[in-house]
Amino acid sequence: MPSSIDSKIPSALHDLPTPEPESPMRPRKPYRFSTLCATVENPDMKDQYGSSSIPIYQTATFKGVSGEYDYTRSGNPTRTHLQHHIAKISSAAHAFTVSSGMACLDVILRLLKPGDEIIAGDDLYGGTNRLLTYIRTHVGVTVHHVDTTKPSTLHPLLHPDKTAMVLLESPTNPLLKICDIATISKDVKERAPNAIVVVDNTMMSPYLQRPLEHGADIVYDSATKYLSGHHDLMAGAVTCNRDDLAKQIAFTINSVGNALTPIDSFLLLRGIKTLALRMDRQQATAQLVAEYLHSLGFRVNYPGIESHPGREIHNRIANGNGAVLSFETESKSLSEKIVGGTRLWGISVSFGAVNSLISMPCVMSHASIDAATRAERGLPEDLIRLCVGIEDPNDLIDDLERALIAAGAIALDVVQNKYVRVEQLANGEAIVQAVQRLRVHDANDLTENREWFVSAPGKVILFGEHAVVHGVTAIAASVDLRCFGLTTPRNDEKLSVHFHDIDGFYQEWDIDSLPWNAVTPVALGEEHPEVLDSKLMEALLLGPLASLGDDKKQARVASLTFLYMYMILTRGDKKPSFDFSARATLPVGAGLGSSASFSACAATTLLLIHKRITPPSLPPPSSTATGHIHTSYQGRRALPPAFAEEVNRWAFVSEKILHGNPSGVDNSVAVYGGALAYTRAGFARKSGMEPIQGFKSLKFLLTNSKVPRDTKKLVAGVGEKKVNEPELVNSILDSIQIISDEARRALADPELPRGTLLAALSALINENHSYLATLGVSHPSLEKIREQTSAPYGLSTKLTGAGGGGCAVTLIPDDFKEDTLKALINNLLEEGFQPYHTSVGGSGLGMLSPYAEHRSGGQVTPPETPAADSSQVIIKENLEPLRPSFENKSVTELSEWAEGLGRWLYV
């Protein structure tokens, strides 16, 4: 048990004044923790009436112009008393109280700036994970999740300049993992001196653990839990010793106005007085409950159990084991029965109150973490968390035992005359779970039990925008900004999607709850009908997607596309369970074909999982016996035409769902890459798409104006202008056709000198843009980009796509100096634009090779050729799953990381 505050903290800060010793031979000792908790005393704030309880200053304002308080948002006497008291019991120089534990983390994370990196644990409270995901998506902060039980796992990620924060929980919630706060704090100070070590201490409270004493810079508690102890208020507490951090935290709290109210400050102060008393009872009972469950044979997570792997470290840092524990049953349905069968244990999220609570984190407190991520982080779906209160321990154990008996988890062994655990084989669930844990799979099921990682490029219209609607040939090419799609097995009869670029949207569905009665699957080898299945579309919109309103329109249509293709591709009763995550390095909604590259990725992964396409076999190696010589093309042209054609057909179906009446250009570029010429049907010229053979990659600067555009309105405007001014518009359309023909011939001519090609394209770009401006589809922002790139750089720029905002394309000559390019990019950034230096005309659809010899990181599929007499193959386990890194890499890191995983196979 804790006895007194660490003597290393300056005692003058918060120690209570004590009477002078009655005799020099018998000096008084510092008050112990429980005395400090119960005795609220601030020598600098004596109550004028000698009140034995801190008054509630229930006021918004204070009179006067030079007093200590003026406005309760900025300061309040009741809150000051509380904060002084919390600092005193936390070994802290500064304490702040806000409206909740998550408000604490929000305030702390505001210390970060775009480009910073956080290292956090892999077993975190669901709300913490949700907020970290938000700042990664919206603030530009990189988040790394690691196993913090091993300090060495942080070392590769600690960077002296980039690492800004290390976020720890110990014990973690809900797996009760222990991290060595002292060692990690020391390592961080040595390897990244400017980084801040932050500890969520909610599971322990200051009574049992004070991380500031072990090197942490900031500690926060959800005071809703143990500090309050009664679940009758929401509050959070932040403590630190550094004056500079305290100043920043105080500024943020005052600015955003989330400081704790006077009445809640009073209630929290009252709750803290009994903290030690409550915790003593709660953790003593928790120890008895943990030992009871452990004796039955359940896997129990609690540092008070001797076999707990972090017990030695925990005992060195903490003064007790806490009152939260968790255990596993190996059956989700059994766990649900146990939780539902209790009476004294309340089914609820949260912990720390005088009343005992029971929950299943994966469906309650941690449900906001998607199932695939939970599985990767080792969070069992069957996990039960117990939060022990102050009831009589015999009553609590009796109630739990009755629930275990009723659920069939334990039964009376007559021979031993005691209850023992029953091996769970009901419905075959335990067998299924055991099989899932084995890394042995039938060779025919590999497509369902591995990660598939694919990518597809965006596209840019080089010539012929708008005119293409009126029968003019358009020239389109791929850009080396890509969408990436990753599927991860779930094996829990659920399907989920994570669209990072649509506000981090995540959704999961029970596969059996999808409207299967509305689907007419497309048979293997057949093509999708010309018209979309309206019955299935309506059933999906009114069923699993009904909760997504117009505020989530983008997410709704993307989810509709994915579910539609998943269901219509399903063969028989085989309904694979997996997660599909999509991220892009190209801007979404800027006219660069982001939806088509998404469609290509979704179509490829779904076709692979439904076994409608298969990756190409490895070619036979060179052989001295036969004289065969194998020439490696490093993955180029590795995906055969039939593979690409099938993907393109289904990518076009996806585009139909997303856009209604697509041309097919965008998805074709996303699949085949390179460049193509497209002429719309219904006009005098020959219609269709033709690849431009011999197209050589070109360097471009794509600049996103960040101005939203209304494509339909712009297209309609050109149509109206054609009606009102037919002679002018028709002459412009004829001129643009000449430009497209010239560009097509130049791009396809292998003998045309590079310099001549670039000079010709530069002139055609300027000419094309002038015609588009005359048609009224430019925008002041696009003209500003043209102006910035023209003088003094002498570059040619035009709008691309619908115009009216969106993107502009600038041709970059081969000999353009790197320093000059950087200066141009900085100028555009200063004007509020977002430039992307990229190449045009590169590879199309790509897939990370499934073969072990091609891989340098990530999960691996079976060897190239299984033994002839074996129907089973072993999946190698020496490489980590891709998903954690895929989720956490920044946009700037994503492409390089993906390339570094090994060989990619391209169309």
Q: From the candidates 73, 186, 191, 402, which is the catalytic residue? A: 73
Q: How many CB atoms lie within 10 A of CB 98?
A: 26
Q: From the candidates 125, 564, 566, 836, which is the catalytic residue? A: 125
Strands (E), 50-93: none
361-400 as b/e, with b when 16 or more CB fall inside 10 Å?
A: bbebbbeebbbbbbbbbebbbbbbbbbbbbbebeebbebb
- Whose CA is closest to 560, among 515, 610, 504, 611? 515
Whether 741 and 472 have beta carbons less than 8 Å apart is answered as no
How many CA atoms within 13 Å lie on the side-chain side of 721? 21
Task: At 527, list the tokens.
Answer: 């093509």
Spell out the alpha helix ranges (H) of 725-779. 726-748, 754-774
Task: Name the packing angle between helices 101-109 and 243-256 (round to 10°).
Answer: 110
Region of 583 (left: φ > 0; alpha: ψ -120 to 50; beta: rest) is beta
**Residues of the chain predicted below pLDDT 50:** 1-22, 425-447, 857-878
Whether 217 and 187 have beta carbons less than 8 Å apart is answered as no
Task: At 795, list the tokens.
Answer: 């570059």
Q: Is the Cα dihedral 669, 674, 675, 676 positive or negative?
A: negative
Is position 482 annotated as part of the catalytic site?
no
pLDDT score, position 378: 79
- Whose CA is closest to 782, among 699, 704, 713? 704
Task: At 109, list the tokens.
Answer: 């994370």
Query: Residue 628's Cα: distance from chain center in Å?
Result: 48
- Rounded Cα gap, residues 43 and 96, in angstroms: 19
Region of 375 (left: φ > 0; alpha: ψ -120 to 50; beta: rest) is alpha
Is position 225 annotated as part of the catalytic site?
yes
Task: At 743, list the tokens.
Answer: 């560009």
- Whose CA is closest to 795, among 838, 830, 824, 829? 824
- Contacts of 337 by beta carbon, 8 Å cutoff, 6+ apart: 403, 406, 407, 408, 409
- Rounded Cα gap, residues 236 and 258, in angstroms: 10
642-665 as b/e, with b when 16 or more CB fall inside 10 Å?
A: ebbebbbebbbbbbbbbeeebbbb
How many CA atoms within 13 Å lie on the side-chain side of 167? 27
Whether 144 and 888 have beta carbons less than 8 Å apart is answered as yes
Q: From the candidates 88, 136, 225, 278, which is the catalytic residue? A: 225
- Whether the upstream peptide bond of residue 792 has omega within 30° of 0, thus cis, is yes
Torsion of CA 258, 259, 261, 266, to 10 degrees: 140
Q: How far is residue 624 from each of residues 18, 467, 618, 620, 634, measured CA to CA in Å?
A: 92, 58, 18, 12, 22
Task: Name the packing angle between helices 275-296 and 393-407 (round to 10°).
Answer: 30
Q: Which residues pair with 458 in a beta bridge?
A: 479
The string of DSSP codes covering 447-511 is: TTSS-EEEEEEEEEEEE-TTGGGGT--EEEEEEEEEEEEEEEE--SSEEEEEETTTTTEEEEEEG
- Rounded Cα gap, residues 378 and 381, in angstroms: 9
Residue 649: its H or E element = helix 641-659
Spell out the alpha helix ranges (H) of 192-273. 205-208, 243-256, 262-272
pLDDT score, position 444: 38
Whether 694 and 748 have beta carbons less than 8 Å apart is answered as yes
Task: Name the packing angle between helices 641-659 and 553-569 (round to 10°).
Answer: 140
Is position 47 annotated as part of the catalytic site?
no
Spell out the alpha helix ranges (H) of 66-213. 77-89, 101-109, 126-138, 181-191, 205-208
- Rounded Cα gap, residues 780 and 783, in angstroms: 5
- Whose CA is closest to 907, among 624, 667, 576, 584? 667
pLDDT score, position 869: 35
Q: What is the DSSP letter of 513?
A: G
- Rounded Cα gap, residues 705 and 808, in angstroms: 8
- Contacts of 584 by beta carbon, 8 Å cutoff, 6+ apart: 458, 481, 482, 483, 484, 500, 501, 594, 597, 598
- Strands 578-584 and 474-489 turn out to be antiparallel
Residue 807: its H or E element = strand 807-812
Q: Is the Cα dihedral 223, 224, 225, 229 positive or negative?
A: positive
Residue 428: burial class (beta carbons within 10 Å; 0-12, 13-18, 19+): exposed
Residue 34: its H or E element = helix 33-38
Q: What are phi and psi of 324, to 5 degrees?
A: -115, 135
Residue 347 identity? I
Q: Is the Cα dihedral 253, 255, 260, 262 positive or negative?
A: positive
Is position 637 annotated as part of the catalytic site?
no
Q: How many CB atoms lie within 10 A of CB 702?
A: 25
- Rounded Cα gap, residues 465 and 773, in angstroms: 11
Q: From the candidates 200, 370, 492, 501, which is the catalytic residue? A: 200
Task: At 877, list the tokens.
Answer: 């386990």
- Whether the upstream peptide bond of residue 621 has omega within 30° of 0, thus cis, is no
pLDDT score, position 440: 31
Q: What is the distance between the terminal CA atoms of the chain, rounded to a whole angstrom?
A: 66
Whether 404 and 329 have beta carbons less than 8 Å apart is answered as no
Please tell me the chain's helix, strand, coil percentages from 3-state DSSP, rounded to the nearest 5: 40, 20, 45
Q: How many CB atoms lie within 10 A of CB 829?
A: 12
pLDDT score, position 842: 85
pLDDT score, position 349: 85
